[in-house]
């Protein structure tokens, strides 16, 4: 399905974006491990998280739709052996975290997914899980899915991650809930801490000492309700849309403002964005608040590489902003973009070229010379964030987005919401 967006003169109004994908994945998994029934309020109900819900049903949890929410009855710390292959769809978070969860279970399970997911690197989780004693096989020695896991009999390890990755950290911590002795993970740089916050919410073992996170074997724990905030990564596209579209004034409400996710706001502010935000609730769990963005004259800059792990999913949105900024924007430390749902670094460069924006792409960097965006046709490359980023990038001039349905992976109403805000 192609989506044609005519030149847009302004964006005005207020919007509440769908629930956070990362928190939804973790909320579903930990509720499935709990004893008793709970409600997951305002989760994301889209491709990736629906795959998580279905996989957990196959593992014995009861997960029922309740309007905007999920009602979940957990099975305790022991999941059931699934009767069939667990289909992770397009969800890398699901496959990596579920590998950690199943490593500690006395079951046999096979994890697979779509063609894109079967190309994504899994060795980064199978390596530490094997060190803990999990038996995992897969293509190319366990580096690619499908993955066959026979869990149980884990021992804790001290694992220093070679690459900053919240998914790797989370997989090891989930496995650590079933391991003898302590499990420690050391991060080379801070990454999103949704797993740590979820562990605290459910009363699971957790100690944090600087860049070291420690857990240990968990006792049975009771189910607890969890409220999912709006997804910052989804809100980011509308923030950038308001900044680059003339005469725009847009407020995003109920957005998760976890400081391990909001590096983009810092960078946009440094680029001269007229942007403000505030936390209004949830400081002890997932902080939630509002973001207001208004039309701005942006300036190019060189992004601090230390901020990249705090905004890795927002790089496509930043590239859209950089296309409209005066001067040059240099974005380093992007090797991780090569192994996302698409090769995002190449996808960004190709679509900027399609819109007439001068761009250079290295192995792990982008250099964008902004200020000269044309109308055109953009391709999502089977990637939801690329589809949304370049719909936004072409807003002021008009754009056609090929295969726009890929946005539904994380934001089912994205294009309809965008239409509703156009002046």
Q: List residues with catalytic annotation.
A: 313
Which tokens belong to 108? 């046999």
Which tokens belong to 177? 């809930």
208 touches 37 (CB < 8 A): no
Gap between the Cα atoms of 4 and 102, Å rounded? 43
Number of C-beta neighbours around residue 365 at 10 A: 16
Which tokens belong to 406? 């890929």
Number of C-beta neighbours around residue 363 at 10 A: 8
Number of C-beta neighbours around residue 353 at 10 A: 13
Residues with Cβ < 8 Å from 221, sequence gap 6 or more?
33, 34, 35, 202, 203, 204
Cis upstream peptide for 153 (omega within 30°): no
Give which of 280, 261, 97, 105 is closest to 178, Cα–Cα: 105
Gap between the Cα atoms of 323 and 314, Å rounded? 14
Which tokens belong to 70? 């999920």
37-41 β-sheet, strand order? 62-66, 69-73, 37-41, 226-227
Give which of 193, 195, 293 is closest to 252, Cα–Cα: 293
Gap between the Cα atoms of 300 and 318, Å rounded? 11
- Contacts by 75-79, CB closer than 8 A, 24 or more apart: 75/32, 75/33, 76/33, 76/34, 76/35, 76/220, 77/33, 77/177, 77/178, 77/218, 77/220, 78/105, 78/106, 79/32, 79/33, 79/105, 79/107
Spell out where 74-224 has E strands: 86-87, 108-112, 135-138, 144-150, 158-160, 183-186, 207-209, 212-215
Can you say how many angstroms the Cα of residue 232 is from the centroid of all Cα atoms in its chain? 9
């Amino acid at each position: 399905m192609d989506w044609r967006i005519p030149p847009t003169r302004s964006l005005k109004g207020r919007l509440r974006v769908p629930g956070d994908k990362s928190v939804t994945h973790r909320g579903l998994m930990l509720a499935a491990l709990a004893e008793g029934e709970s409600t997951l309020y305002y989760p994301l109900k889209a491709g990736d998280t629906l795959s998580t819900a279905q996989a957990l049903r196959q593992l014995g949890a009861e997960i029922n739709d309740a309007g905007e929410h999920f009602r979940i009855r957990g099975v305790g710390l022991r999941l059931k052996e699934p009767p069939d292959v667990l289909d992770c769809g397009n969800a890398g978070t699901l496959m990596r975290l579920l590998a950690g969860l199943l490593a500690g279970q006395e079951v046999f399970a096979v994890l697979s997914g779509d063609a894109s997911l079967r190309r994504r690197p899994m060795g980064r989780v199978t390596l530490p899980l094997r060190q803990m004693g999990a038996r995992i096989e897969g293509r190319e020695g366990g580096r690619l899915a499908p993955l066959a896991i026979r869990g149980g009999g884990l021992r804790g390890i001290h694992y220093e991650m070679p690459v900053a990755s919240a998914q790797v950290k989370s997989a090891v911590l989930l496995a650590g809930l079933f391991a003898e002795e302590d499990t420690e993970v050391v991060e080379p740089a801070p990454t999103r801490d949704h797993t740590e916050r979820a562990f605290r919410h459910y009363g699971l073992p957790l100690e944090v000492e600087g860049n070291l996170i420690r857990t240990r074997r968990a006792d049975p724990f009771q189910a607890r309700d969890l409220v999912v905030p709006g997804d910052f990564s989804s809100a980011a596209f509308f923030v950038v849309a308001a900044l680059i579209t003339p005469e725009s004034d847009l407020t995003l409400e109920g957005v998760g403002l976890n400081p391990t996710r909001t590096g983009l706001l810092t960078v946009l502010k440094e680029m001269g964005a007229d942007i403000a935000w505030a936390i209004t609730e949830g400081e002890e769990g997932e902080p939630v608040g509002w973001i207001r963005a208004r039309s701005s004259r942006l300036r190019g800059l060189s992004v601090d590489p230390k901020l990249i792990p705090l905004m890795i999913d927002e790089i496509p949105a930043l590239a859209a902003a950089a296309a409209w900024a005066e001067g040059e924007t240099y974005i380093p430390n992007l090797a991780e973009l090569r192994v996302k749902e698409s090769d995002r670094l190449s996808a960004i460069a190709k679509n900027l070229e399609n819109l007439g924006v001068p761009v250079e792409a290295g192995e792990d960097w982008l250099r964008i010379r902004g200020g000269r965006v044309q109308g055109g046709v953009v391709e999502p490359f089977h990637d939801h964030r690329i589809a949304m980023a370049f719909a936004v990038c072409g807003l002021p001039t008009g754009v056609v987005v090929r295969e726009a349905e890929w946005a539904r992976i994380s934001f089912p109403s994205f294009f309809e919401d965008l239409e509703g805000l156009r002046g």
